[in-house]
Structure 1
Amino acid sequence: METPAARLRTLLEEPVLRLMPCCFDPLSARLIREAGFPLSLMSGFAVSGSRLAMPDTGLISFAEMVDQLGAICDAEPDLLVIGDGDTGFGNAMNAQRTVRAYAKAGAAAVMIEDQVSPKKCGHTKGKQVVSRKEARMKVRAAVDAARTGPHDILVMARTDARAPLGFEEALARCHDFVEEGADIIFLEAPENAEEMRAFTAAIDRPCMANMVRGGKTPVPAPAELQAMGFRIAAYPLTLLTASIAAQRAALKAIADGDDATVPQVDFETLKTLVGFDDYYAGEERYRAD
Structure 2
Amino acid sequence: MTAPDRLRALLAGDRLNVMPCCFDALSAKMIEQGGFGLTFMSGFAASASRIGAPDLGLMSYGEVADQARNICDAVSIPVIGDGDTGYGNAMNVRRTVRGFARAGCGAVMIEDQVAPKRCGHTPGKAVVGRDEAFDRIRAAVDARGDDDILILARTDARHELGLAEAIGRAEEFARLGADILFVEAPRTAAEMREVCEALPGPKMANIVEGGETPELSHAELRDIGYAIAAYPLTLMAAAMQAMDAALGQLRDDAPRDGLMDFATLRRKIGFDDYYEASERYASSARPR
Identify the TM-score tier after normalising by the shorter chain: over 0.9
Deviations 1:81-100 (A, max 9, x none): 10010001111111110110
- For the Cα contact (< 8 Å) 1:83–1:110, is it kept in 2? yes
Q: Which residue of 2 aligns with 1:105?
A: 103
Q: Which residue of 2 aligns with 1:125?
A: 123
- Cα distance between partner residues in 2 of 1:42 and 1:35: 16
- Cα distance between partner residues in 1 of 2:269 and 2:123: 39
Q: Does 1:255 align with 2:251?
A: yes
Q: Using the TM superposition, give the Cα deviation of residue 277 of structure 1 relative to its aligned residue in structure 2, in angstroms.
A: 2.0
Q: Using the TM superposition, give the Cα deviation of residue 282 of structure 1 relative to its aligned residue in structure 2, in angstroms.
A: 4.5
Q: Does 1:187 align with 2:183?
A: yes
Q: Which residue of 2 aligns with 1:34?
A: 33
Aligned 1:163-178 pairs, distance under 5 A: 163-178=159-174
Q: Which runs of 5+ in 1 are unaligned?
A: none
Q: Does 1:266 align with 2:284?
A: no
- For the Cα contact (< 8 Å) 1:157–1:186, is it kept in 2? yes
Q: Using the TM superposition, give the Cα deviation of residue 235 of structure 1 relative to its aligned residue in structure 2, in angstroms.
A: 0.3
Q: Using the TM superposition, give the Cα deviation of residue 280 of structure 1 relative to its aligned residue in structure 2, in angstroms.
A: 2.4
Q: Which residue of 2 aligns with 1:82?
A: 80
SS of 1:103's equivalent in the other structure is helix
Q: Using the TM superposition, give the Cα deviation of residue 102 of structure 1 relative to its aligned residue in structure 2, in angstroms.
A: 0.3
CA-based RMSD of the aligned residues comes to 1.1
Q: Using the TM superposition, give the Cα deviation of residue 108 of structure 1 relative to its aligned residue in structure 2, in angstroms.
A: 0.3
Aligned 1:199-214 pairs, distance under 5 A: 199-214=195-210
Q: Which residue of 2 aligns with 1:9?
A: 8
Aligned residues: 284
- Cα distance between partner residues in 2 of 1:264 and 1:66: 32
Match of 1:277 among 260, 272, 283: 272
- Cα distance between partner residues in 1 of 2:274 and 2:34: 22
- Cα distance between partner residues in 2 of 1:176 and 1:139: 9
- For the Cα contact (< 8 Å) 1:29–1:79, is it kept in 2? no
- 4+ residue runs over 6 A deviation: none
Q: Which runs of 5+ in 2 are unaligned?
A: none
SS of 2:246's equivalent in the other structure is helix
Match of 2:226 among 230, 243, 247: 230
Percentage of matched positions with identical amino acids = 55
- Cα distance between partner residues in 1 of 2:25 and 2:264: 17
What letter matches 2:235 in structure 1? L
Q: Using the TM superposition, give the Cα deviation of residue 283 of structure 1 relative to its aligned residue in structure 2, in angstroms.
A: 4.1
What letter matches 1:285 in structure 2? R
- Cα distance between partner residues in 2 of 1:125 and 1:53: 20
SS of 2:22's equivalent in the other structure is coil
Match of 2:237 among 209, 224, 241: 241
TM-score by length of 1: 0.96
- Cα distance between partner residues in 1 of 2:128 and 2:253: 54
SS of 1:22's equivalent in the other structure is strand
- Cα distance between partner residues in 1 of 2:21 and 2:131: 30
Q: Which residue of 2 aligns with 1:152?
A: 148
SS of 1:41's equivalent in the other structure is strand
Q: Which residue of 2 aligns with 1:116?
A: 114
Deviations 1:67-116 (A, max 9, x none): 1100000011x111100100011111111101100000000000000001
- Cα distance between partner residues in 2 of 1:164 and 1:204: 23
Deviations 1:184-210 (A, max 9, x none): 000001111111111000111100000
Q: Using the TM superposition, give the Cα deviation of residue 263 of structure 1 relative to its aligned residue in structure 2, in angstroms.
A: 1.1
- Cα distance between partner residues in 2 of 1:105 and 1:9: 18
Q: Using the TM superposition, give the Cα deviation of residue 251 of structure 1 relative to its aligned residue in structure 2, in angstroms.
A: 1.0
SS of 2:131's equivalent in the other structure is helix
